[in-house]
Amino acid sequence: MEDDYKSFLQSLDDSQLISHISSLSQSQVKTQKDKEIIGSDAFDDSFNEYLTRHIPGVVGDEKNPKEDDEAQGVLDDTVEQNPGENAPEPINELLDELNEEFSDDQGSNDDEIGPMHGFGDYEIYFDNKHKKQQQGDKNYIEWDKTRRILQGEDEYREPIFKGCVIFVNGHTIPSMNEIHRLVIIHGGKFLSYLGAKRNATHIICDRLTPRKQQIYKNCKVVKAKWIADSVEKGYLLDWKEYRLFKEIAYDQGRLSDFHNEFALKQFNMEEDDDIEMQEDSLEEEELSQEEKEAVQERAIDAKHPDFLNQFFSKSRLHHLSMWKSDLKLQFINKVKKSKHEVSKRVTRVAHIDFDCFFATASCQKTSYDINEVPLAVSHGQTTSDVASCNYVARKSGVKNGTWVRSARRLCPDLIVIPYEFDLYEKYANCLYNYLISLNVDIYPVSIDEALIDLSDYEGDLSQWCEMVRGEIFRLTKCPVSIGIGANILLAKLSLRRAKPNGYHILETGVDDFLSTVSVSDLPGVGYSLMDKVIAETGKSSPTITDLLRVPKERLMKVLGPKTGQKLYDYSRGIDPTNLDHTAERKSVSVDINYGIRFDTHAQVEDFLSRLAVEVSKRLKNLNVVGSQVTLKLAKRDPDSPVNPPKYLGMGKCIFFNKSAKLGLPTSQPGIISSELKSLARILTIPAQELRGIAVAIGKLEDADEVKKNRQMTLNQRITKGTRTLKKIDESDFKEPLDDEIDWQVFESLPWDIKREIKAELSRRGIIQKSASSSPGPKKNGKAYLQQLLPTATTQEPKYVRIVESPKKVSPKKLSPQKRSRTGSPTKVEEDLSYDSSILNELPSSVKNEVIEDMAIRKKYKPQTLKEKFKESVKQTKVANQPITKQWIDEQPKINEVPKFQNGDIGEMIVGWMEMSLDQDGPHNDDVEMFFEYLKCLKFDKIKRVEILISKEIKYYKSIEAMLGPKHCTALKEWDGVVDRIRKLNIF
C-alpha cells in the first residue's frame, strides 16, 4: 500500500503534486474543524452499512449475490420516483448523520480510491428501478455521481467500457449485478435480460459448456475477471487475454476428455438460459446511433490507455531496439569483468548474421518450404511493412522494409506469414550463448547479428566459419552467414558477399573486391547520401570505382567534412572504427509515430504523461537520471491526407523538436511529464494534426553518483554551469518553496502520508532532503494560492526550471508555420526501388500512396530548388502576416487557458475555486496575486480565464442545493472576481 502511494505520488506533475497536497490539507482542515476524522475506507464501509441497516427491504450483502434472475427479473413498476433526483438530499442528511456516528473512527487517510466493494447503494437502487433498464442505468449513473461528489470522491469515472455492450451469461464472479453496475458507471451498456444479445460486443461468462461454445463461437466470450481487472486498472484491457475459450486458432485439437466430462457436468447443472437466448432474437432493441458509432470506434489508437502496451508488443522495430539495448548492456558488463587489454587496433573481424532472420524463424511455425515459396513476415496485406523476406522473394526484388503491396507487385505469389517474436528471441539466445561459449569478444549489432574480434585467432578461418555455421544451424535450424575482413567495414562487405547461407573470408585482393561493391552497400549510405553520390558521380548506381574518382575535397564539401572523409576512407577499404562496447548510453527515448490520433489537447497531455511514465521506467531500469528533456512532435504535412495510406500511420510529417534543461537530473515521471507538457505548449501543434510524439531524456548521469554528490555538495552544484537556474542565489535555493507549503496543515496529516510526500518533495528538489521537520506554523489554515502558483509573478524570482530563455520567445516563432517540404508531385522520375514507368501507369490513388511512402522513407525528394525558394517566400509571408484577431483564433490552441511552465493554470484555478468554497471564498492575497498574473496575459487569454471561472461558478450554482450556505457566500466572492476580470478586459 505504501508503495502504491509512493508510486502514485511519483506519477504526478509538480502541479498535480502540489494540488494533491492541498487537497489532503483541505480535507484535513475540514475534518479537524468538525472534530471528525473519517478515513475514506471506514467511511465507505459504514456508509453502506448504514444504508443497509436503515433502508427497509435491502439485503445488501455483496458477498452472497442474489440469483441473477431474481435481481434482473424483479422490476417494481410501482415505484416511480427517480432516485437520480431524489437521492441527493436524503443522502446529504445521511452523510451528516454518519459523520457524527462514526466520529471516533480513525481511518487511514491514504487510500484515495477506496476499495471496490460495498454496493449496497446499487442494490437499493435496483430494487426500486423502473421497467426501462436503460433509463434506470442513466439514473443510477447520475445518482452515483452525486453520491461521489457528496462523499468527496472524485466524481469522474473513466469511461472504460464506452462502446462496449455487455451481456452476462450464467453465474459469474463478480456477480452479474456487480458487473452491471461497473459497466454502466464506466460508460458501457449492459444488456440485462431477454435482451438483444446479438448486439452485445462481449459476452461475459465464467463457465464453459459445450453448448455455449457452440452458440457463442463467433462472439467475444470473456471471463468476468476482465471487467473487474479493467475497472481496477482504470482502462479497458485486451479482452483476448481473458477469453473463455481456448485459443482455437492456434490450438485446433479437441478439448481433452477430462475437460469434456467436466464441462458436461457443468452443463447439466446449469439453468438452461441458452434456449431462451435463441428465441428472443426477435425482441432485439436497436442500439442508438451514438452507441453504434462508439462500437465502431473500437480501433485502438493512442487515446487508449493500453495503447503503448499493445503497440509495443506488436512492433518489430520496438523489439529490435529493445533487444539491441539489452544485448549492449549484457556485453558491457562482460567487459567490465575483464577490463584489462588496452584498446588495441583490431586486425580481423568476423561479422555473423542470420539469413533473413524473421522469415526463416517464422517459417518454422508454418508448413511452407523457405527455399521454394516466396515468404514475407508482416502484419497486414497492403500497406503493412515487410519485416523480412526470404531469398526466394528477394530474387523478385522484394526487400525488407517495403510495403506488402509493393512487394506483391514484384512478386505476386508472395505469402505473408506472421511475426513470432518469442521465437526470434529464443534463436537469438542460441546464437549468443553459443558465441559466448566460444570465449571470444562479442560485439552485438542486433538480435540476429554480432561482430567478433578474431584478431588473435590463429586457426583456420574456413574451418572456424563452418564450425560456427554448423553449430548454430544445428541449434536453431536457421542458417547464418559469416563475413570476415580486416576491419568492421570489410567484414560487413564480406558478409554481404557471403549471403545467403555461406561465408566469405576477405584477406587478399581487397581492392578488386571493393571495386565491384556498390556505393549503396556501404554502411552509413542510405537514400539521402546515395542521392548525393549519384548527383556527384553522374551514375545511377555508382560503385566504389566511381567513388574513387571523386577527389576528397569534393566529397567533404558536398557531403560534409566527416561524411566525406568517411566515404573517402570506405572507398579505399579503410575503417578506423575500433570495436568498443564500453560506450555509455547518452540518451533514452520513447518514440511513437503510429496510432497518434487525438481530438483534444487533454488527450495529448494524457498521452504525454504515459510517455513520461514509460521513459521514467526505462531510466530507472538503467539506474540513470537525465537533465535534458526533448519533445519531438510530428505534424501532418499540410499536403498530406488526414488519413495516410497506412492505417493509423503517420503519413508525411513535419517534425518539431524542443528541448528543456532541468534544474536537477531526474528519472521521475511527474517532473518529466510536467516538462513535456510545457514543451508541447511551446510547439503549439493542434492535437488533431499530431501524427507522432517522441520523448528523449539526455544528459544522463548515474543515479547513485548524483545522489551521492547532491548530498555532499548541494550548494556547489548550483553554481555549476550545466545547471540552468534562473536568477537564483544560494539563499533562494536553500529554502525553496518552503513558505509555499502550509506546514501547519502539513503537520496534521497522518504520519505515513507526510513521510511519502516529504520524500517526494525532496526528490523533486522542492524541499531539501534533510528537512526533517517543518518550520514553525505559518499564516492560518487557509489555502494559499502561492502553493499552487509555480512561481511568483511579482517579487523575487523563485526556483524555476528553465524551458527556454524568455527573451527568445518571439511572437512569430510561437506557432511553427514551417516550410512544407514538397509541392504535390504528380510524376515520378526515377527511384532506386521503383521503376518509374511502371509507377506512372498505376492508378493515381495507388501511385500517390506509393509516393507518400517513399517520401516518408526519404527515398524520394520531389523538392527542387525552385520549390525551396517558393517555400521560403511562403515562410516569410507567414511571418509578416499581421496579427489579427482571426489569426489568433486560427492558431492552434493547446490549452483552453494559458499555463505556467510547470503546470496548468486552468487546473489550478479550478482547484483553487473548489478549495475556496469551503473557506468562505478565495483569500484576498490570492486574489491580488491572481490579478497580478492576469495583467500579464493577453486579452484573449484573460477572456478564457474569465469564461472558465464563470463556467465553474455556473456549475456550482447548479448544484447549489447540495452546498451549504457557506458555499454560497464563497460563490458570491467569485462573482466579484469575474466582474473584476471583465473590468480588466475593458482596458
Ligand X SMILES: Nc1ccn([C@H]2C[C@H](O)[C@@H](COP(=O)(O)OP(=O)(O)OP(=O)(O)O)O2)c(=O)n1
**Pairing of the two strands 480-485 and 503-505:** parallel
118 sits in the region (left: phi over 0; alpha: psi -120 to 50; else beta) called: left
For ligand X, give the closer residue by CB, 354 or 930.
Answer: 354
> Which of DNA, ligand X, Mg ion, none does 358 bind, CB closer than 5 to 8 A by kind?
ligand X
For Mg ion, give the closer residue by CB, 308 or 377.
Answer: 377
Which 718-747 residues touch DNA, going by CB under 7 A? none
Residue 672, classified by CB atoms within 10 Å of its CB into exposed (0-12), middle (13-18) or buried (19+), is: buried
- Binding status of residue 404 toward DNA by CB under 7 A: yes
Give the range of 592-600, 896-904, 946-954, 976-984 binding DNA by CB under 7 A.
592-600
476 sits in the region (left: phi over 0; alpha: psi -120 to 50; else beta) called: alpha
Minimal distance, residue 496 CB to ligand X, in Å: 8
Report how far apart, in Å, the C-alpha atoms of 713 and of each of 718, 758, 798 are: 9, 21, 21
- Binding status of residue 354 toward ligand X by CB under 6 A: yes
For DNA, give the closer residue by CB, 43 or 419.
Answer: 419
**Binding residues for DNA, how many (CB under 7 A)?**
88
Which segments of 83-132 does DSSP mark as H helices, in order? 83-86, 88-101, 120-127
Q: Using the rule CB under 7 A, which residue among 233, 474, 858, 972 binds DNA?
A: 858
For Mg ion, give the closer residue by CB, 47 or 357.
Answer: 357
Q: Using the rule CB under 6 A, which residue among 292, 316, 893, 941 binds ligand X?
A: 316
Closest CA relative to residue 38, chosen from 115, 109, 92, 97 = 109
Residue with cell 451514438: 290
Cell of 195: 435482451
Give the range of 139-147, 354-362, 610-618, 889-897 binding ligand X by CB under 6 A.
354-362
Q: 863 Cβ partners below 8 Å, 6+ apart?
A: 821, 822
- Binding status of residue 299 toward DNA by CB under 7 A: yes
Cell of 248: 482455437
For ligand X, give the closer residue by CB, 385 or 918.
Answer: 385
For ligand X, give the closer residue by CB, 387 or 514.
Answer: 387
Q: 396-399, long-range: CB within 8 Å, 24+ apart, which pairs?
A: 397/833, 398/374, 399/833
For DNA, give the closer residue by CB, 303 or 923.
Answer: 303
Instruction: Considering only the C-alpha atoms of the chain, give the largest distance between any 2 of them, rounded to a whole number of Å.
Output: 99
> Which of Mg ion, ligand X, DNA, none does 595 bind, CB closer than 5 to 8 A by kind?
DNA
Give the range of 8-16, 351-359, 404-412, 461-469 binding ligand X by CB under 6 A.
351-359
Q: 736 Cβ partners below 8 Å, 6+ apart?
A: 765, 766, 767, 768, 798, 799
Q: Using the rule CB under 6 A, which residue among 95, 194, 295, 320 binds ligand X?
A: 320
| Residue 221 near residue 203, CB atoms below 8 Å | yes
Which 621-680 residues touch DNA, going by CB under 7 A? 628, 630, 632, 644-651, 655-659, 661
- Binding status of residue 778 toward DNA by CB under 7 A: no
Chain centroid to Cα 726, Å, comes to 31
Cell of 336: 567490465
- Binding status of residue 952 toward Mg ion by CB under 5 A: no
CA atoms within 13 A on the CB side of 517: 27
Residue with cell 537525465: 626
Q: Build a one-symbol-per-residue string for 440-459: x at contacts with ligand X by CB under 6 A, - elsewhere.
A: --------xx----------
Q: Using the rule CB under 5 A, which residue among 449, 605, 896, 904 binds Mg ion?
A: 449
For ligand X, give the closer residue by CB, 375 or 917.
Answer: 375
H/E stretch holding 433 reads helix 421-437
Which segments of 664-777 does DSSP mark as H helices, in order? 669-683, 703-712, 714-719, 730-734, 743-748, 751-763
For ligand X, give the closer residue by CB, 388 or 901.
Answer: 388
- Binding status of residue 491 toward ligand X by CB under 6 A: no
168 sits in the region (left: phi over 0; alpha: psi -120 to 50; else beta) called: beta
Minimal distance, residue 530 CB to DNA, in Å: 6
Minimal distance, residue 614 CB to DNA, in Å: 8
- Binding status of residue 470 toward DNA by CB under 7 A: no
Residue 761, classified by CB atoms within 10 Å of its CB into exposed (0-12), middle (13-18) or buried (19+), is: buried
Q: Using the rule CB under 7 A, which residue among 259, 474, 586, 938 binds DNA?
A: 586
Which 414-453 residues touch DNA, going by CB under 7 A? 445-449
Q: Using the rule CB under 7 A, which residue among 82, 315, 688, 744 binds DNA?
A: 315
> Which of ligand X, Mg ion, DNA, none does 709 bind, CB closer than 5 to 8 A by kind?
none
Closest CA relative to residue 361, chosen from 299, 292, 423, 285 = 423
Is 481 strand, coil or helix? strand
User: Cα-flanking dihedrals φ and ψ of residue 692, to 5°?
Assistant: -160, 145
Minimal distance, residue 764 CB to DNA, in Å: 21
Q: Using the rule CB under 5 A, which residue among 122, 167, 357, 421 binds Mg ion?
A: 357
- Binding status of residue 594 toward DNA by CB under 7 A: yes
Residue by residue, what is the 3-state secondary structure of 545-587? HHHHCCCHHHHHHHHCHHHHHHHHHHCCCCCCCCCCCCCCCCC
Which 201-220 residues touch ligand X, going by CB under 6 A? none
For DNA, give the closer residue by CB, 55 or 832.
Answer: 832
- The amino acid at residue 611 is L
Is 473 strand, coil or helix? helix
Q: Build a one-symbol-per-residue string for 383-422: x at contacts with ligand X by CB under 6 A, - elsewhere.
A: ----xx-----------xx---------------------
Q: Using the rule CB under 7 A, which residue among 159, 523, 781, 797 binds DNA?
A: 523
For ligand X, give the closer residue by CB, 82 or 833.
Answer: 833
Cell of 725: 537556474
> Which of Mg ion, DNA, ligand X, none does 570 bind, CB closer than 5 to 8 A by kind?
none
> Which of DNA, ligand X, Mg ion, none does 124 bind, CB closer than 5 to 8 A by kind?
none
Cell of 34: 468538525
Give the range of 28-36, 79-87, 355-363, 523-531 binding ligand X by CB under 6 A.
355-363
Give the range of 378-386, 389-397, 426-434, 913-921 binding DNA by CB under 7 A.
378-386
Minimal distance, residue 390 CB to ligand X, in Å: 8
Q: Using the rule CB under 6 A, which residue among 357, 421, 746, 956 binds ligand X?
A: 357
Minimal distance, residue 559 CB to DNA, in Å: 6
**Pairing of the two strands 690-702 and 653-666:** unpaired
Q: 929-932, long-range: CB within 8 Å, 24+ apart, which pairs?
A: 929/785, 929/786, 929/789, 929/792, 929/793, 929/794, 930/785, 930/977, 931/980, 931/984, 932/793, 932/794
- Binding status of residue 303 toward DNA by CB under 7 A: no
Q: 374 Cβ partners below 8 Å, 6+ apart?
A: 389, 390, 392, 393, 395, 396, 398, 411, 413, 414, 415
Minimal distance, residue 368 CB to Mg ion, in Å: 19
The C-alpha atoms of residue 158 and residue 145 are separated, in whole angstroms, by 12
- Binding status of residue 361 toward Mg ion by CB under 5 A: no
- Binding status of residue 974 toward Mg ion by CB under 5 A: no
Minimal distance, residue 970 CB to DNA, in Å: 43
Q: Using the rule CB under 7 A, which residue among 31, 455, 589, 793 binds DNA?
A: 589
Give the range of 14-22, 260-268, 349-357, 944-952 binding ligand X by CB under 6 A.
349-357
Q: Using the rule CB under 6 A, which residue among 244, 263, 294, 356 binds ligand X?
A: 356
The contact set with ligand X (CB under 6 A) reads 316, 320, 353-358, 387-388, 400-401, 448-449, 499
The contact set with Mg ion (CB under 5 A) reads 353-354, 357, 446, 448-449
